[in-house]
């Protein structure tokens, strides 16, 4: 099965990496498509990759895995949506854009919605597989335990707090919480790890780097892969970022600031003044544990580390039953949009 791993944004790399591993194990030929604007961030430079759609056309793929919203309709292969997050309440998550033959969902909550849409549109299939980015939760959840011990020892701290806000200018908590993060840092029992998105405003990056330079128990992390820090943190502070769900699935407490989605599975603050108090309370008394059980059950119940395997299996089965699509039949407007993004053949 000739496969394309389709990347329009850097977050795609970590999602598609476990799928690549399965393709390697099965000796399938594959190629990464990486948008030219992000190619310098591509972490697998020794792999077969291209920045040119014409190369993908020539490749004549059987399957295309896409953790994003668009893929050229004229490419050969099963166009497979694997999603880039778990925030189902966000605007557009369940929008059907007609570019995909197959939707591989993360858990029952998502499967229900897309199955209803499939019954209505009748031109795509839905299979629940779990999400490959979280396979590490099943098979390597303790991978960084020793590193956590070293970090806590070096800072003489007892708990790790991860601050990972969204970069969105209108939604980020970073403009409001710098003083509170400093106040938290005054408690040497906390090691605070600050992990910002690549697109965070420079003035905010500078501000929080200053905080990290000021306190020995504050680390500003530039590493792109956040999974390690999700695994080692004891509590996370965020806002509307979809990474909230990735942390909740580890069954650990989260505190959000002005999360407009009003999720009930964690503490949501409307003012920054009581952040320090709420961190202490949530570390001592995890009062949202029962409510998190809903997320664990409905959003991503898979803990076996085999979501990537199920995804590849699902595409193989689709091809067995339906053959390999030469292209998608979509509306004039959708064709126009794709041609504008990727070029017309």
Q: What is the DSSP string of 144-198?
A: THHHHHHHHHHHT-SEEEEE-----TTT-STTT-HHHHHHHHTSTTEEEEEE--T
Tell me: pLDDT of 295 over 90: no
pLDDT given at position 89: 61
CA atoms of 54 and 75, how far apart (whole Å): 10
Bridge partners, residue 102, by sequence: 80, 125
- Average pLDDT on 28-33 reads 98
- Residues comprising the chain, all counted: 345
Going across the sheet that includes 30-34, the strands are 49-50, 30-34, 3-7, 63-66, 78-81, 102-105, 125-128
Give pLDDT, residue 134: 94
In angstroms, rounded to a whole number, what is the distance separating the alpha carbons of residues 181 and 173? 11
Amino acid 91: pLDDT:
56
The token duo for 236 is 């996370």
List CB contacts of 300: < 8 A, sequence separation 6 or more.
86, 106, 107, 130, 131, 134, 249
Task: Name all domains of the chain by residue range, CATH numbers in brackets.
Answer: 3-131+302-342 (3.40.50), 141-298 (3.40.50.12580)
Q: Mind listing the pLDDT tens digit for each residue in 306-341? A: 999 999 999 999 999 999 999 999 999 999 999 999
Binned at pLDDT 50, 70 and 90, residue 225 comes out as confident
Confidence of residue 291 (pLDDT cuts 50, 70, 90): confident
Of all residues in the chain, the percent with pLDDT exceeding 70 is 97
Helical residues (DSSP H) of the chain, grouped into ranges:
11-25, 53-59, 108-121, 135-139, 145-155, 178-185, 202-214, 227-232, 243-248, 275-284, 289-298, 307-322, 332-342
Burial (CB < 10 A; 0-12, 13-18, 19+), residue 45, is exposed
Range in 78-82, 217-221, 237-241 with the lowest mean pLDDT:
237-241
The order of strands in the sheet holding 190-195 is: 218-221, 190-195, 159-163, 235-238, 254-257, 267-269
φ, ψ of residue 231 in degrees (nearest 5): -70, -35
Q: Residue 94 above 70 pLDDT?
A: no
Global pTM value: 0.90
Least Cα distance to 56 among 70, 76, 38 occurs for: 76
Is residue 65 very low, low, confident or very high in pLDDT (cuts 50, 70, 90)?
A: very high
The C-alpha atoms of residue 58 and residue 75 are separated, in whole angstroms, by 9
* pLDDT of residue 260 exceeding 80: no
Residues 107-117: tens digit of each pLDDT: 999 999 999 99
Distance, CA of 321 to CA of 300 (rounded, Å): 27
- pLDDT of res. 209: 96
pLDDT category of residue 144 using cuts at 50, 70 and 90: very high
Mean pLDDT along residues 66-93: 86
The encoded tokens of residue 263 equal 């999720």
pLDDT at site 263? 66
Sole residue written with tokens 């399965």: 22
Using 50, 70 and 90 to split pLDDT, how confident is the model at 96? confident
């Amino acid at each position: 099965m000739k496969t394309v791993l389709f990347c329009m944004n850097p977050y795609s790399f970590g999602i598609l990496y476990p799928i690549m591993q399965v393709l390697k194990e099965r000796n399938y030929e594959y190629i990464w498509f990486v948008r030219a604007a992000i190619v310098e961030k591509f972490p697998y430079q020794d792999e077969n990759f291209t920045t040119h759609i014409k190369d993908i056309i020539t490749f004549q793929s059987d399957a295309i895995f896409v953790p994003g919203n668009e893929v050229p309709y004229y490419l050969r292969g099963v166009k497979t949506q694997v999603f880039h997050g778990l925030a189902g309440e966000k605007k557009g998550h369940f929008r059907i854009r007609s570019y995909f033959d197959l939707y591989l969902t993360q858990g029952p909550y998502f499967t229900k919605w897309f199955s209803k849409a499939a019954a209505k549109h009748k031109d795509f299939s839905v299979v629940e597989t779990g999400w490959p980015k979280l396979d590490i939760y099943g098979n390597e959840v303790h991978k960084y335990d020793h590193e956590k011990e070293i970090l806590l020892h070096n800072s003489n701290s007892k708990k790790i707090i991860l601050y990972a806000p969204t970069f969105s200018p209108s939604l980020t908590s970073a403009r409001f919480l710098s003083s509170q993060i400093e106040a938290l840092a005054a408690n040497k029992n906390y090691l605070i790890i600050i992990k910002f998105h690549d697109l965070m405003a420079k003035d905010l990056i500078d501000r929080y780097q200053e905080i990290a330079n000021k306190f020995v128990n504050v680390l500003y992390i530039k590493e792109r892969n956040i999974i390690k820090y999700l695994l080692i943190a004891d509590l996370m502070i965020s806002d509307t970022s979809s990474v909230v769900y990735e942390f909740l699935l580890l069954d650990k407490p989260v505190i959000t600031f002005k999360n407009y989605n009003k999720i009930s599975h964690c503490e949501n603050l409307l003012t920054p003044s009581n952040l320090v108090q709420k961190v202490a309370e949530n570390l001592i008394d995890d009062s949202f544990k029962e409510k998190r059980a809903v997320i664990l059950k409905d959003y991503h119940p898979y803990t076996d580390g085999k979501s990537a395997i199920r995804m590849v299996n699902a595409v193989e089965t689709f091809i067995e039953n339906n053959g390999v699509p030469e292209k998608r039949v979509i509306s004039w407007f959708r064709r126009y949009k794709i041609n504008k993004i990727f070029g017309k053949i």
